[in-house]
Amino acid sequence: MRFILFITFSFLIYSCESSSKSYSLSGFALGTSLNIKHDAEIDDDDLTFNIDGLLMKINKSMSTYQLDSDISKINAGLEIQVDSFFRDVFIESSKIWKLTNGAFDPTVGALVNAYGFGPDKKFINELSDIQLDSLLNITGWNKINLNKDGFLSKSNKNITLDFNAIAKGYTVDVISKYLESIGAKNYLIEIGGEVSAKGYSPKSNGPWKIGIDSPEPNLSKRNIYTTYNLKDRSIATSGNYRHFRINKKTGKKYVHTIDPRTGYPIQSQILSTSVTAKDCISADAWATSLMVLSLDDGKVLIENDSDLEALWITSTEDGLESFYSSGWMK
C-alpha cells in the first residue's frame, strides 16, 4: 500500500426519481482511486478529515511503502506490538490461508520483491534454483505467530509480510463501519476496484450496479465485461492482465500473482476473478486466492462456502470464456 494522497471534492446529487439525496466524495488512497457515495448528514470537511484520519492509521499499520509503518518495522526484523487494524487483517489472513491450503499467504513478500512488484521495483532477471529455495525458506504463514498481547514473532527474521492482497478490502470495511456510525443508510465505497454497497442507489432506487472490467491488457482501453447488482454486500476483482514485468534479456513475462507454494508467478488461463461476499476483506482475499488456485479447485472452495460467489474470466483460443458459481446473479 502506498501512502495517502487524498484530494477530495463533494457535491449533492438529487435523484430524478425520488427525493432521496446522495453526497459524493472522490480522491486517492492506498496508491489508488477512492470513491464514496453516501446519504449521511455530515459536514464535508468533517467527513474528509475523519476518513483521511482512518486512512493514515491504516497506512501507519500496514503500508510497505511507509518506512515507519508497523509492517515495515516487522519486515526489518523489529518485534513490536501491532494495532487492532493489523490484528484484524492477520486473523482473516490466517483463516483464508488455511482454507486455501496456502494459496493465500501474505508472507509472499520476499517473492513479490524478487519479481519486481514490491516497493523498490528492483527485480532479479532470472531466479536460480538456489535463489528460489532460499526465498521459499522465508515464505510460509505457519512460520509466523501473533501472540495474545499483539507481538508478532517470525521463525526467520528475513520473512517479509505484504498485505496488499487484503488491505484494500479491509479498508473499505473500515470506512463502511464509519459511515454506518454516522447514520448512512445507503452508500457505495470503492477503493481501487474493491467495492462495498449498502441499501440502494439514489439514481435507480435499486441495487448499486457495479461494472466488471473486461480483462484487456491495454491500459488506455477499459471495457465493461458484465455488471453486477450489489446490495448489502461487497465485491472485489483480481487479475493479471495489466500488472506484469518482462525480462529484457529473455522476453519472459512475469505476472504479479505469485504462487507462495511454488515461488513461481502464475501461468494460467484465468485472466481475472471476481468474488462477492458479506464483507470486502473476504472478497478481496478470495479474489486473489482464486487467481492462484486452479479453476477446478477454486470452484470447489467457493461452492463449499455459502457466503461466497465468484466469476472467473478465462482465455481460450476463441476469446474469453466465463465460469460462474451456482449462486452468482447474472
- Dihedral sign, CA of 99, 101, 104, 106? positive
pLDDT of residue 178: 98
Contact criterion met (CB below 8 Å) for 103 and 289: yes
Helix %, strand %, coil % of the chain (to 5): 30, 30, 40
Measured in residues, the chain has a length of 330
Residue type, 132: L
Torsion of CA 198, 204, 210, 213, to 10 degrees: -170
Rounded to the nearest 10 degrees, what angle do helices 280-292 and 167-181 cross at?
Answer: 160
DSSP state of 289: H
When the pLDDT of each residue in the chain is averaged and rounded to a whole number, the result is 87
DSSP state of 32: E
The per-residue pLDDT for range 78-103, each reduced to its tens digit, is 989 999 999 999 999 999 999 999 99
Maximum average pLDDT range among 107-111, 174-178, 211-215? 174-178
For residues 29 and 51, what is the distance between their CA atoms, to the nearest angstrom? 10
Lowest mean per-residue pLDDT among 77-86, 181-190, 237-246, 254-263 = 237-246
For residues 284 and 174, what is the distance between their CA atoms, to the nearest angstrom? 14
* Residue closest to 103 by CA, chosen among 318, 315, 317, 287: 287
* Residue closest to 139 by CA, chosen among 164, 102, 167, 168: 102
Of the two residues 330 and 169, the one the predictor is more confident about is 169
Percentage of residues in the chain with pLDDT exceeding 70? Answer: 85
202: number of Cβ within 10 Å: 23
For residues 112 and 82, what is the distance between their CA atoms, to the nearest angstrom? 23
pLDDT of residue 15: 38
Q: For 68-154, CATH number?
A: 1.10.3980.10
The per-residue pLDDT for range 271-318, each reduced to its tens digit, is 999 999 999 999 999 999 999 999 999 999 999 999 999 999 998 888
Domain locations along the chain: 68-154
